[in-house]
């Protein structure tokens, strides 16, 4: 529940000028923007209501946070398949502890209660989770969990298997049309209601119109320099919803995953928490296992605790990273249980069966987003949101490991059901927007993106303080109103504007929350706990 809603940074309503009477357009009963777990579940649910569904994926369906997810799905299964000591209330308790006082208890219990049924849907669509030689589902444990309740697939490629099965089901469904490499620029509203989006594909602007719209665009990790996210995670859904007048909340809570492979010049490969769940330990540069000094659960403490401990060790020792030691688990086990990590490290010359892995935290998952109810409905009529782009109240100030795909499943299905029930032909839509002045000539967009990501990492990163947050807010405001003003003509420019807006929103939220809680660490905090839910609305004009 939002307890404090204030105006956020100003923004233009649309990023470009258009007149729908002069633009090609597609029509559907239900429009889904996003091709990850939430979007695909929503599309399948809406289509099962007999509605024509159009899915727009920014890249391919292999390029999403879901597809890149390694660890698994947290779920309390039926009594025959779960651990004897586990039940829904234990999972609820673990989620609330990780969320540091900002979870909505009723929402947590409601969403987790539908988890097992959602997993059954995945299995019906052909998703194959790992099983033992005897045929039993293999469950693992991750940080913050009191029991082994994490389902996984192909060792450490759970997200890819989920997307494979759902994408195959969507592609085979006669009422679902999927368009890949379609970049949604702005949410269209007509009379205050969502009417679709305008998107860019093959150097052409197209309007996608629908009776109901579902945003499932994923996260914004690429706003930070160090990130586990794919290049598509630039916060587009957050930005377009904000420009359209939707209420956003808890934007300061970017979760920094404790363990990503840290090699200069290399991609920040996620080292799944499941590896620590199987027994890998963190060590500092002198070989000391340090996590027992920070938390009773050691390596299996909640992610925000482990991340802060790693940063503390880096600061204390002056060494640029820490080490993850899995050598005692043996080559055969590591190769079979974590094939993706084993092979990726081998390509970099690291045999994880004999050598420690250099690791450092990176931006991973955004706990805030577009405010929705427990059915995915937003503050804009006929607009739903599901997955990482949404803020339901499940995660609070820090997401419990492997609750993300779970939420995408449950909320994607719910949003698809309700948007499917309400969806239908879009009717006559006549929207236009004035053409803004052209963007500045000669602007080096890639350089400005690098500057933005570096500043967000330094000033709005793992540890924050008032002085640096003020610098970030002023810098972002200047870049938005000067270098990135006006109308761009390609995806890179629109992504830049989205990233700057999202960065500005996060910095403003982090500046307002003066106390540390969950993933939001204020180095200048006086130690008070602040469990206010901070919401944001646009400032420049009334919601359309």
Q: Which residues are catalytic?
A: 303
Alpha carbons 124 and 402: distance in angstroms, whole number: 21
Residue 81: how many CA atoms within 13 Å on its side-chain side? Answer: 19
Query: Measured between alpha carbons, how far is 88 from 84 in angstroms, rounded to an integer?
Result: 12
Quick one: 472 exposed, middle or buried, by C-beta within 10 A (0-12, 13-18, 19+)?
A: buried
Is there a contact between 208 and 54 (Cβ–Cβ < 8 Å)? yes
Instruction: Measure the CA–CA gap between 348 and 161, rounded to whole angstroms.
Output: 25
Q: Give 451's contacts (C-beta < 8 A, 6+ positions apart).
A: none
Beta bridge partners of 377: 384
Report d(CA 198, CA 188) in Å as an integer: 7
Report which secondary-structure segment, H or E, holds 358: strand 357-366
Enclosing H/E stretch for 32:
strand 25-33
For 184-243, the DSSP string reads EEEEEEETTEEEEEEEEETTEEEEEEEEEEEE-----GGGSSSBSS-TT-S-HHHHHHHH
Helix axes 158-172, 37-47, angle to 10 degrees: 30
Q: What is the DSSP letter of 273?
A: H
Which stretch of DSSP H or E encloses residue 325? strand 322-325
d(CA 324, CA 341): 13
Q: How far apart are CA 433 and CA 443, in angstroms?
A: 24
What stretches of 367-442 adopt beta strand conformation (E)? 369-371, 383-385, 390-391, 432-433
Please, what is the end-to-end C-alpha distance for the chain in angstroms? Answer: 24
Q: Are 271 and 386 spatial neighbours (Cβ–Cβ below 8 Å)? A: no
């Amino acid at each position: 529940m939002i307890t404090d809603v204030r105006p956020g940074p100003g923004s233009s309503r649309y990023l470009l000028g258009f007149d729908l009477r002069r633009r090609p357009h597609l029509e559907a009963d239900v429009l889904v923007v996003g091709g990850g777990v939430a979007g695909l579940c929503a599309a399948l649910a809406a289509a099962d209501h007999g509605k024509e569904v159009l899915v727009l994926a920014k890249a391919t369906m292999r390029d999403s946070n879901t597809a890149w997810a390694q660890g698994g799905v947290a779920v309390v299964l039926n009594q025959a398949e779960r651990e004897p000591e586990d039940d829904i209330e234990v999972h609820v308790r673990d989620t609330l502890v990780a969320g540091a006082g900002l979870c909505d208890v009723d929402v947590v219990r409601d969403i987790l209660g539908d988890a097992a049924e959602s997993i059954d849907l995945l299995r019906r669509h052909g998703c194959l989770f790992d099983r033992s030689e005897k045929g039993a589902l293999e469950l693992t444990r991750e940080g913050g969990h009191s029991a082994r309740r994490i389902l996984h697939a192909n060792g450490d490629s759970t997200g890819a298997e989920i997307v494979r099965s759902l994408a195959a089901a969507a592609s085979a469904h006669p009422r679902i049309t999927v368009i890949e490499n379609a970049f949604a620029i702005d949410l269209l509203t007509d009379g205050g209601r969502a009417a679709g989006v305008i998107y860019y594909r093959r150097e052409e602007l197209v309007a996608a119109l629908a009776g109901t719209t579902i945003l499932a665009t994923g996260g914004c990790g690429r706003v930070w320099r160090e990130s586990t996210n794919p290049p598509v995670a630039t916060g587009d859904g957050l930005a377009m919803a904000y420009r359209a007048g939707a209420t956003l909340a808890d934007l300061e809570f970017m979760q920094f995953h404790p363990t990503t492979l840290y090699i200069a010049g290399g991609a920040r490969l996620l080292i799944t928490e499941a590896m620590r769940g199987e027994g890998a330990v963190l060590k500092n540069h002198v070989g000391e296992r340090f996590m027992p000094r920070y938390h009773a659960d050691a390596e299996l403490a909640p992610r925000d605790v482990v991340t802060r401990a790693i940063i503390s060790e880096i600061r204390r020792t002056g060494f640029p990273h820490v080490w993850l030691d899995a050598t005692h688990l043996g080559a055969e086990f590591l190769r079979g249980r974590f094939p993706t990590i084993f092979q990726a490290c081998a390509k970099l010359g690291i045999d994880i069966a004999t050598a420690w892995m250099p690791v450092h935290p990176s931006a991973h998952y955004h706990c805030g987003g577009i405010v929705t109810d427990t059915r995915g409905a937003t503050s804009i009529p006929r607009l739903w949101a599901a997955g990482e782009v949404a803020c339901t109240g499940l995660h609070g100030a820090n997401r419990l490991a492997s609750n993300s795909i779970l939420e995408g499943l449950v909320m994607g299905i719910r949003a698809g059901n309700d948007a499917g029930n309400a969806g239908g032909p879009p009717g006559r839509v006549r929207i236009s927007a004035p053409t803004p002045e052209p963007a500045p000539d000669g602007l080096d967009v890639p350089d400005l993106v690098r500057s933005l990501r570096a500043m967000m990492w330094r000033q709005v990163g793992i540890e924050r303080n008032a002085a640096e947050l003020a610098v970030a807010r002023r810098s972002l405001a200047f870049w938005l109103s000067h270098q990135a003003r006006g109308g761009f003509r390609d995806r890179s420019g629109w992504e830049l504007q989205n990233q700057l807006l999202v960065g500005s929103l996060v910095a403003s939220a982090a500046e307002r929350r003066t106390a540390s809680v969950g993933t939001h660490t204020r180095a200048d905090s006086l130690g008070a706990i602040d469990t206010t839910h901070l919401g944001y609305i646009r400032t420049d004009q009334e919601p359309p």
